[in-house]
Structure formats: structure tokens, C-alpha cells
């Protein structure tokens, strides 16, 4: 979800990413800060994200953007997700 959000809007800070996921997913998708920030660090270490400190309204914020490797990874994950959900849907529709 993080990679997808950043594919649509670069230069988001962690809270912005969390808010975007909740806005799109509604009450069914909630991301906790304790899960998000370690995940952002892992994605940055994997080379999928680039992070930088910027000044926003007089405050420093760490913003994230998707790298080329992140876009490639996202495409692969999306394809696997669509395949898996289609298979689950076929099983659920069985009479």
C-alpha cells in the first residue's frame, strides 16, 4: 500500500502516507505508526524508497519517494496480488 500511495504522490512524510491509506481504504484499513515507520526503513534499505529531510512550515520532516526499483517491485507485487485474489474469489464463488 505504501508503494502504491507513493506511486501516485511523491514527497510524502510518514503521517501523510498513513493518512492517504486511511482516506482511500476507509475504516477497514488502518496503519499504526509502530508498523509504518519500521516498514518505511526496511523499504528504504531495500532500495524501493528514497528519503530526505525537508523543511515544511518551519519544521523538519522526512519525506519519501518511490525509486525506479520501487516501481518495478510494485508492479510485480500488484501482479501477484491480482492473481492471488482472483484465485481466492474463484474458490469463494464455488457452490
Domains of the chain listed by start with CATH number: 2-92 (1.10.10.10)
28 secondary structure, DSSP code: G
How far is 24 from 21, CA to CA, in rounded Å?
Answer: 5
Whole-number Cα distances in Å, 2 to 24, 34, 89: 12, 14, 24
What are the pLDDT digits (tens) for 48-86? 999 999 998 889 999 999 999 999 999 999 999 999 999
* pTM as predicted: 0.85
Specify whether the CB–CB gap between 49 and 64 falls below 8 A.
yes
For residue 12, which phi and psi values (nearest 5 degrees)? -105, 145
Amino acid at each position: 500500500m505504501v508503494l502504491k500511495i507513493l506511486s501516485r504522490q511523491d514527497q510524502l512524510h510518514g503521517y501523510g502516507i498513513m493518512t492517504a491509506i486511511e482516506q482511500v481504504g476507509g475504516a477497514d484499513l488502518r496503519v499504526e505508526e509502530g508498523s509504518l515507520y519500521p516498514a518505511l526503513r526496511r523499504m528504504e534499505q531495500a532500495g524501493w524508497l528514497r528519503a530526505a529531510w525537508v523543511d515544511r512550515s518551519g519544521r523538519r520532516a522526512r519525506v519519501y519517494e518511490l525509486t525506479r526499483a520501487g516501481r518495478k517491485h510494485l508492479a510485480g507485487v500488484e501482479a501477484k496480488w491480482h492473481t492471488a485474489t482472483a484465485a481466492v474469489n474463484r474458490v469463494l464463488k464455488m457452490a
